[in-house]
Amino acid sequence: MKFWAYTALAGALAIAHAPLASAEMAEDELVINDDIEIVTKAPAPAHLGAFDEIYSGWLFRSEDTRDVQRDDFDNPGMLGVESAMEAWDSVEGTAGKACSDCHGALEDGQMVGVRAVYPKWNENAGEVWTLEQTINTCRTERMGAEAWGLNSKDMTNMSALMSYESRGIPMNVAIDGPAQETWEKGKEIYYTRYGQLELACSNCHEDHYGDWIRADHLSQGQTNAFPSYRLKDAALVSIQNRFKGCIRDTRGVPFDIGSPEFTALELYVASRGNGLSVEGPSVRN
């Protein structure tokens, strides 16, 4: 277990940076395991007026942190993926089924590309669902198993496995048709200034990406690389858990994980990254 080494590394990195020029980011390319090419820079999707190019948060991390993600043997997030691989084939619940009974063995590749289109409109439910909500419905409706907590370790690991299966595939969530109303709600939340510090997502991640808040280098806040192994937390972190931390840090009251508000926000933020590769499980500081 490399837990302590990573924690120490994170501490060292926090001390090591010197303030850099505005919007500075790495000139670097990400190829994982010398095999999977990750698109970390892409033309901004048409709906996004704020900038011309979108960037993976990977480009805003230090060289040491970027390197940890280049090889799955170094990436501590892979432990969660491996745990979910076991769960994939494990029978649970009253129906006596495993994930693989419906979706096939992972090697069959039936889940490839799934992550890239979530959150997604669910016709039966008549609402937009995150991948985690979809997984839980599989568990309760098809397997007769207990729902996982949306932010539980089991769920985040499974979510990381879904990212792993789609690594390298460009994000491509739908924002029109039945999803449009939810997307617009998410956009409104993105630009709302929450908490006593009155900060919106856009203040940091649209207006000031590339700048520094003290020792934190602000990225565009893209979701393509989640779940993300955060060195400072020594754990895989889900998208909505990060949303929660951000609103908390405005001296505000976050929405609940799995709430309609955070699902709408997740759809909107994901759409800002359409074109970047699915990158999870990523490594961040």
Partner 1 sequence: MKRAMTAAAAACILATGFAGTGVSASPVAPGDVVFEDGAVAASLTGMPGDPVAGAEIYAEKSVGNCVSCHAVSTLPDVQFPGNIGPALDGAADRYSEAQLRGIVTNAKMTFDGSMMPSFYKVTGFIRPGIGFTSKPIAPEDITPLLTPEQIEDVVAFLMTLKEQ
Among 100, 134, 180, 192, binds partner 1 (CB under 8 A): 192
Among 68, 106, 199, 264, binds partner 1 (CB under 8 A): 199
3-state secondary structure of 257: coil
Angle at 276 between CA 273 and CA 282, to 5 degrees: 100
Our CB check for partner 1 shows the closer of 105 and 213 to be: 213
Question: Does 195 participate in binding partner 1 (rule CB under 8 A)?
Answer: yes
Q: At closest approach, how far in Å is the CB of 253 from partner 1?
A: 4
Check 99, 201, 204, 246 and give the catalytic one: 246
Residues of span 219-248 touching partner 1 by CB under 8 A: 244, 247-248
Stretch that binds partner 1, among 37-45, 96-104, 191-199, 226-234 (CB under 8 A): 191-199
Q: How far apart are CA 69 and CA 64, in angstroms?
A: 9
- Interface with partner 1 includes 194 (CB under 8 A)? yes
Find, among 257, 93, 237, 254, the residue nearest to 159 by Cα.
237
190 lies in the site for partner 1, by CB under 8 A = no
Which CB sits closer to partner 1, 47 or 193? Answer: 193
Answer for which of 63, 124, 176, 214 binds partner 1 (CB under 8 A) is 214
Closest approach of partner 1 to the CB of residue 243, in Å? 12
Whether residue 241 contacts residue 140, with contact meaning beta carbons closer than 8 Å, is answered with: no
Please say which residue, 46 or 253, places its beta carbon nearer to partner 1: 253
> CA–CA separation, 242 vs 205, rounded Å?
13
Q: Indicate the residue among 139 and 244 with the shorter CB distance to partner 1.
A: 244
* Closest separation in Å from C-beta 123 to partner 1: 32
Site for partner 1 in 14-33 (CB under 8 A): 17, 19, 22
Q: What x/- string results for residues 136 through 165 when contact with partner 1 is judged by CB under 8 A?
A: ------------------------------
DSSP 67-124: HHTT-TTT-TTHHHHHHHHHHHT--BTTTTB-HHHHH--GGGTTTTTTGGG-SEEETT
Q: Which two tokens stand for residue 118?
A: 């979530």
Q: How many residues bind partner 1 (CB under 8 A)?
A: 27
Nearest-10 Cα torsion for 135, 141, 143, 146: 70
CB neighbourhood size of 232 (10 A):
14
Three-point CA angle 29, 190, 225, nearest 5°: 25
> Which CB atom, from 7 or from 202, has the smaller least distance to partner 1?
202
Strand-pairing partners, residue 213, are 216
Q: Is there a catalytic annotation at residue 246? A: yes
Cβ burial, residue 219 (10 Å; 0-12/13-18/19+): buried
* Catalytic center residues: 246
**Where does this chain bind partner 1 (CB under 8 A)?**
17, 19, 22, 192-199, 203, 207-208, 211-215, 244, 247-249, 251-254
